Amino acid sequence: MENTDYQILLYYCYAKIENPEEYREEHHLFCVENNIRGRIIISDEGLNGTASGLVEDCQKYMDFIHSDPRFAKTEFKIDSFDKHAFTKIHVRYKPEIVHSSLRHLDPNVKTGKHLEPKEFKALKDQEDVVILDVRSNYEHELGHFKNALRLDIDNFRDFPEKVKELEHLKNKKVLTYCTGGIKCEKASAFLLEQGFEDVYQLHGGIIKYGMEAGGEDFEGKCYVFDNRIAVEVNKVNPKVISTCHVCGTNSDRMVNCSNSTCNAHVPICEECGWKMEGACSEECKENPEKRPYDGTGYYQKNTNGYNPYKGLYRKSDKAEILK
């Protein structure tokens, strides 16, 4: 039987945080003391995170967030796993919970209409509908909805500039989607600001669509930001759409280039992975910064000397600095 002792949590919440640096320390310390690992962003505008832990520890973590009235509405996408999806915990303060260059927009004030997965599924194939992928190139090249419009962007912060190319679609219903829903909050709000009138977003993103609607018509795999790199979504009519970066054969096996100075996110088939030692090109294969390839194509940052308590203090004893 598959080991499901661990869970992976994907979530976000737009909510005003008056003292984000202070809350960052409180949040970080809770994670450390409850063996939660992952990448979490704390900002003046809210929370955004992917975290992993034992089932009981994840429940404590969700209870911790929900117990704060500011974050009571937080919705978690929960996936089972056989181990931690991260090697350490990072809780960082950043100006935005997703880098968008749209800090003036507050999704709690105005954003696209949320569609539950089954509603999205029922609407997506109608004649006057455009399905808009708001993710980056390396994400939608691995997997995307059938017939989706995909923008040529390397980072989400490039999205506002690309919207200029969509002027001819202002009379359409625009259905936005992303991995977990967070980018759509700002993307759909920006579309409304630019004069698009009929704007929607897939609530919970691709991940929730896979869990609740079987992932139908999502072609390929979904890129995720943890050790798994890519996950299956479609249980109804799956299809591999990506090709090996090296040989061109069909492959949805996503890797990071073993050359640390490149680190490109590309599909590479297993045969080419071993042949190229995890590198995306001959040049990268010969680079002295190439990391040892173990067949996964995922590389943890060096954890030597990592101390999760560094820079933290306990509120019960502020004089005690944890080195």
Can you give the three-state secondary structure of 140-166, one letter per residue?
A: HCCEEECCCEECCCCCHHHHHHHHHHH
Q: pLDDT tens-digit profile of 274-314?
A: 999 999 999 999 999 999 999 988 887 654 455 677 656 55
Q: Identify the bridge partners of residue 88 per DSSP, sorted by sequence position.
A: none
All residue ranges of the chain with pLDDT < 50 are 1, 303-304, 315-323
pLDDT at site 2: 57
The three-point CA angle 3-88-226 to 5° equals 60
pTM greater than 0.85 (yes/no):
yes
Judged by DSSP in three states, 198 sits in coil
pLDDT at 1: 41
Cα–Cα distances in Å, from 280 out to 94, 164, 285? 31, 33, 7
How many angstroms separate the Cα of 232 from the Cα of each of 20, 139, 207, 219? 35, 13, 9, 10
* Contact indicator for 209, 202 with CB cutoff of 8 Å: yes
Q: Are 298 and 256 in contact (CB under 8 A)?
A: yes
Q: Does domain 113-220 have CATH number 3.40.50.620?
A: no
pLDDT digits over 104-147, tens only?
A: 999 999 999 999 999 999 999 999 999 999 999 999 999 999 99
CB 188 within 8 A of CB 112: yes
CB atoms within 10 A of CB 98: 21
Residues of the chain with CATH 3.40.250.10: 113-220
Q: How many CA atoms lie within 13 A of 233 on its CB side?
A: 29
Task: List where CATH 3.30.70.100 sits in the chain.
Answer: 6-97
- 275, HSE (Cβ side, Cα atoms, 13 Å): 12
Q: What is the pLDDT of residue 299?
A: 81
How far apart are the C-alpha atoms of 79 and 60, rounded to whole Å? 16
* CATH fold label, 6-97: Alpha-Beta Plaits (3.30.70)
Nearest to 147 by CA among 164, 170, 113, 172: 172
Taking the mean position of all CA atoms in its chain, how far away is CA 30? Answer: 22
Environment class of 67 (CB within 10 Å of its CB; exposed 0-12, middle 13-18, buried 19+): exposed
Residues marked active site are found at 178
Residue 301: what residue type? Answer: K
